[in-house]
Chains A and B, each alone.
Chain A
Amino acid sequence: MSEAVVQEFYGGEASQAAAAEYIIQARDLAKRYELGKNNFVDALRGASLDIRRGEMAAIMGPSGSGKSTFMHIAGCLDVADGGQVWLDGRRVDGLAGRELVRVRRTEIGFIFQGFNLIPTLSAEENVALSAEYAGHSRRDALHRGRELLELVGLGDRMRHVPSELSGGQQQRVAIARALVNDPGIVMGDEPTGDLDTATSAEIVGMMRTINRERGTTFLIVTHNPEVAEACDRTIRMRDGVVVDDGDGTPPGTAGA
């Protein structure tokens, strides 16, 4: 985080520590989706939230509360219409497409509902793909892919294509893929949405372990209270704003 940004946002020296403490800082995010003429949805109406480095946080809220939109903007998949986002101390709102891609590659890993693996690629190729996009050679990328598949316990399934894997196994491949570029934060959009209770618990347990052992931050959007239960804190959103950040501190004042 540049000195100027620190000055601008926090003012003073204490904020340096704040920048080190928080991996995501979002202020007053606004996002409007135009559905047609005079027909729009305000998905975010001034959402503010801080995510601590190394924590595992859940975002809950009813459909349309803006939790996925928040994640997409914080994850540099989308841009806000208003507000500011710092990712790892760097201001990312207003970045151009190419820079967003760079941030996405190196800083963020994604896990989706429905797994979203590439159906024609084997488990190891799916994991390696993300590393290849980030500029690693194919060989190097496959090597990393295999290491991470070992980590998620799929060492014996590396050459299988997604259709030959169970839902839980596919989601573990997705977790490995999210980790392959060593991102500071992994974002999960309903990662257990398509899984049964037992598998869901297994996947959450795996994320918990990775969070503890590797220090990777997890931000998980979920409907499932059991998933939220396993996290360090639960953030609640409604109508496009954060109504409870689960910390007992009003957002934006945490580190100041």
Chain B
Amino acid sequence: MRLLRNIFRRKLRAFLTIFGISIGVFALVVMGALAEKLTLLVDGGMKYYEGKVVVTGPSQFAGLASSPLKKSLLREIEHTEGVSRASAAVSALVDEEIPTVSMGNIPTIQAEDGRAKGIETFIIRIAEGRELKNSDVGMVVVGSDLVKKLNAHVGGHVEIRGERYLVVGINEKTLTAPDNAVVMTMEDAQKIVHDDLPDAVKDSVEPDTIVSSFAVYLEPGQRPEVVARRLERTIDNIEAMTPLDFERQIKQPLAIFTSIIYAIALISLLVGGLSVINTMTMAVAERTREIGVRKAIGASNAQIMGQFIAESAVIGLIGGLLGLVFGLLVTSAGNAAGEASGNALFLVSNRLILGSLAFAVGLGTVSGLYPAWHAANLNPVEALRYE
């Protein structure tokens, strides 16, 4: 490759410039992978919330952290106008303590009463083993991201909160929240939630009445917002969350968060771009005489310009590839470490890979434009005289 020979004429300078671009692309890949993972989680949430209303106790955050409801609310909810059916669910945390760093997804315990079967469109397939039945007390189905953390395999046992459970199935990877969930029966989950209650209230609550949330399915043509407000009016001490609420609470802050992430990564890339401009300007100055010779032996302005732009684009490409490799190493190492605790932070999507590379090449090309234009427009006689 003649281009590469030109680029590596000044080895140190070429490496430094390429390194500058790699750091930028590395930042873009790592930060982008974080943003992609979060976006995917939220999109999964959006899909789950689509067309339904989720009823929780007051001041809950997206169905996590429980102040439990009473199972008896089911009847009231189902009698509300516009509701076709409701399904009770119990959720708890796998670990008693919430991890201090909780970027991605916190491992949860999920149980539901099975009343949603046939209406729920958000279905998680079983990868191995079988689905959990309502009668499967003492048994669990494990989400794909928790397999390592819990050391789960079908037919084996896992320990959760000091109890041993038989693993009957493992869920297919969805890249969303259910990957971090252990599915168990209502009865088992209710026991865990009950144990978590403060001692003062523990005795006044029967475990089998505990419910964390209700998924409320609507009659055809009903708008979730209208039904949610109606539920909140008629039933005391609940919050009804609609797809729109979810979007407002989670999606919009996330959009701001991801744009900040990308902005930081892009700034580091722009710095890399400036170093390309610097490198190419110096290369043109050093090769002034050579440019004169090239013109004398028949190079047109366009050919000279093309040569320098190509060099600059290749610097961008090499830097981009290196940055991508670093980024892939770091994100996969991060995910491997995270998997042990059931928390994979990064998702390197194809669009992120292609986008980062395209951006690096584009940046190289754009950075090369001015130096290349300058080179192309040198007066051949003056360039030949240049010492």
Contacts and interface: CB of A to CB of B under 8 A. Distances in A.
For the complex, would chain B's binding face be called helix, strand, loop or mixed by DSSP majority? helix
B300 A101 contact: yes
Contacts of B293: 112, 116, 118
A78 interface: yes
B381 A116 contact: no
B381 A78 contact: yes
A50 interface: no
A118 B297 CA distance: 11
Interface string A164-204: 00000000000001100100000000000000000000000
Contact of B298 (A72, A78, A105, A118): A105
B289 A116 contact: yes
A97 B2 contact: no
Contact of A101 (B9, B289, B298, B381): B298
Nearest to A75: B296
Interface stretch (A13-21, A128-136, A152-160): A128-136
A97 B303 contact: no
A125 B298 contact: no
Contact of A181 (B2, B298, B379, B380): B298
A79 to B, nearest CB: 10
B297 A177 contact: yes
Given A112-B384, A120-B9, A104 B2 contact: no
B84 interface: no
Contacts of A118: 290, 293-294
Contacts of B297: 104, 109-110, 129-130, 133, 177-178
Interface string B271-306: 000000000000000000110011111111101000
Contacts of A101: 295, 298-301
B219 to A, nearest CB: 72
B6 interface: yes
A77 interface: yes
Contacts of B295: 77, 101, 104
Interface residues of A, number: 25
Residue from the set B290, B295, B301, B380 with the largest chain A CB neighbour count within 10 Å: B380
Interface string B1-16: 0100110010000000
Interface in B10-34: none
B215 to A, nearest CB: 67
A120 B381 contact: no
B300 A120 contact: no
B296 A77 contact: yes
Contacts of A37: none
A139 interface: no
B380 A77 contact: yes
A116 B379 CA distance: 17
A121 interface: yes
Interface size class of B (residues with CB under 8 A): 20 to 34
Contacts of A72: 381
A78 to B, nearest CB: 5
A125 B2 CA distance: 9
A118 B3 CA distance: 12
B2 A121 contact: yes
Interface string A106-117: 000110100010
Contacts of A116: 289-290, 293, 384
A15 B2 CA distance: 48
Interface in A67-113: 72, 75, 77-78, 97-98, 101, 104-105, 109-110, 112
A108 B292 CA distance: 15
Contacts of A125: 2
A104 B384 contact: no
Contacts of A134: 298
A103 to B, nearest CB: 10
A133 B9 contact: no
A195 to B, nearest CB: 18
A244 B301 CA distance: 37
Contacts of A105: 298
A78 B380 contact: yes
A25 B184 CA distance: 98
Interface string B124-158: 00000000000000000000000000000000000
A105 B300 CA distance: 9
Contacts of A78: 379-381
Interface in B175-208: none
A97 B376 CA distance: 12
A68 to B, nearest CB: 9
A178 B293 CA distance: 11
A133 B2 contact: no
The 5 closest A-B pairs by CB, nearest first: A105-B298, A133-B298, A120-B5, A130-B297, A116-B293
Interface of B: 2, 5-6, 9, 289-290, 293-301, 303, 379-381, 384
Interface of A: 72, 75, 77-78, 97-98, 101, 104-105, 109-110, 112, 116, 118-121, 125, 129-130, 133-134, 177-178, 181
22 contacts: A77-B296, A77-B381, A78-B379, A78-B381, A97-B301, A101-B295, A101-B298, A104-B297, A104-B298, A105-B298, A110-B296, A110-B297, A112-B296, A116-B290, A118-B293, A120-B5, A121-B2, A125-B2, A133-B294, A133-B297, A177-B297, A181-B298
